[in-house]
Amino acid sequence: MNKKIIAMLLAGGEGKRLLPLTEKTAKPAITIGGKQRIIDFTLTNCERSGIDTIGVLMQYKPFELNYKAEILLPKAEYLGTANAVYQNLSFIDKFSTDYVLILSGDHVYNMDYSNMLDFHIGKQADLTIAVKKVPIDDANRFGIMILDADGRITDFEEKPETPKSDTASMGIYIFNCDTLKQFLSHGGNDFGKNVIPEMLNCGAKIYGYKFDGYWKDIGTIESLWEANMDLIGDENAIISDNSNILGDVEKSVISDGVSVGKNSFITNSVIMPNAVIGENVIINYAIVGEGCCIPDNFIKNNQSIGTYI
């Protein structure tokens, strides 16, 4: 079967920085905005971009997808992002594809990947990396690069202690398929730490595709809370139709199946599906996990983000 481009979606991380929320749920399957899971943003981007062949690489707490995608479980423990794709080259080989799009299942954003593919083809690139400006104080959390006037990447460093620029990798890659196979065969386990630096050293043509839209890497409790607040925007709150709200809610996300008791007040918080909030409760700046029960008269009213499961 011939496909111009297929996607490999990395969804296998444990999400340790999102504990305790990831004790029972894989990070990409965490609910955001009341109804969607984090991974649904990337899957929807694929659908909008006309990409209908997706391998989802899972390792930690596999979960169901309501989407046309193939779940790929490891033959052995994944040693890194590149190793995960390497272990599933047989899936790529089934489609005789020209290009492989590598994605992450823990980002919140809207992107048309077909525009990125056109850019990649136009530059005759071996690899194109989606890039975005980030605050310089946060740059050490990302792969950081320098681009020349034509957009070609001349320098790349993964999570540097002292970043040379504020241009960050979004963890979205388009490889020529033959190039991907060539460099994966060299044994590097991680794209940022191994594959990309080796390609640069070999003189490969690597370009940065600049993205100016909203993008959030959900790696911490704080970033999950921030993404939910961003989705609220100027609205008073996001409240699922399938919820029972007897108290008051402001600037919060109330997910499916949530119950909020009488005289309770929820503000600046995220309430995950099927949570039960008792009566006379005050919750401010919190994430309440899926199925969690908050007893009557509970009060959490400071501005540090608390998590409850």
pLDDT tens column, 202-236: 999 999 999 999 999 998 999 999 999 999 999 99
Q: Is pLDDT of 14 > 70? A: no
Average confidence (pLDDT) over 137-163: 94
227 lies in some domain: no
Does residue 242 share a domain with residue 100? no
Does residue 206 share a domain with residue 259? no
Residues 211, 101, 152, 126: what is their CA dihedral angle, to the nearest 10 degrees?
-170
Q: How far does the chain reach from its first CA to its final CA, in angstroms?
A: 45
157 lies in some domain: yes
Query: Which pLDDT score is estimated for 191?
Result: 97
Q: How far apart are CA 295 and CA 282, in angstroms?
A: 11
Return the CATH number at 259.
2.160.10.10
224 lies in some domain: no
Query: Which pLDDT score is estimated for 73?
Result: 85
Query: Which pLDDT score is estimated for 183?
Result: 97
* DSSP codes of every residue in 49-104: TT---EEEE--SS----SSS-EEE--SS---SHHHHHHTTHHHHHTTT-SEEEEEE
Which residue type occupies 22? T
Does residue 238 share a domain with residue 211? no
Split into its structural domains, the chain has a count of 2
229 lies in some domain: no
Q: Which of 159, 190, 217 is the last residue of a domain?
A: 217
pLDDT band at 1 (very low <50, low <70, confident <90, very high): low
Does residue 64 share a domain with residue 205? yes
22 lies in some domain: yes
Cα 282 to chain centroid distance, Å, stands at 31
Does residue 269 share a domain with residue 198? no
Q: Output DSSP code: residue 178.
A: H
Q: Is pLDDT of 267 > 70? A: yes
Q: Which of 154, 183, 217 is the last residue of a domain?
A: 217
Q: Is pLDDT of 13 > 70? A: no
250 lies in some domain: yes
81 lies in some domain: yes
Does residue 166 share a domain with residue 284? no
207 lies in some domain: yes
Domain that holds residue 166: 5-217
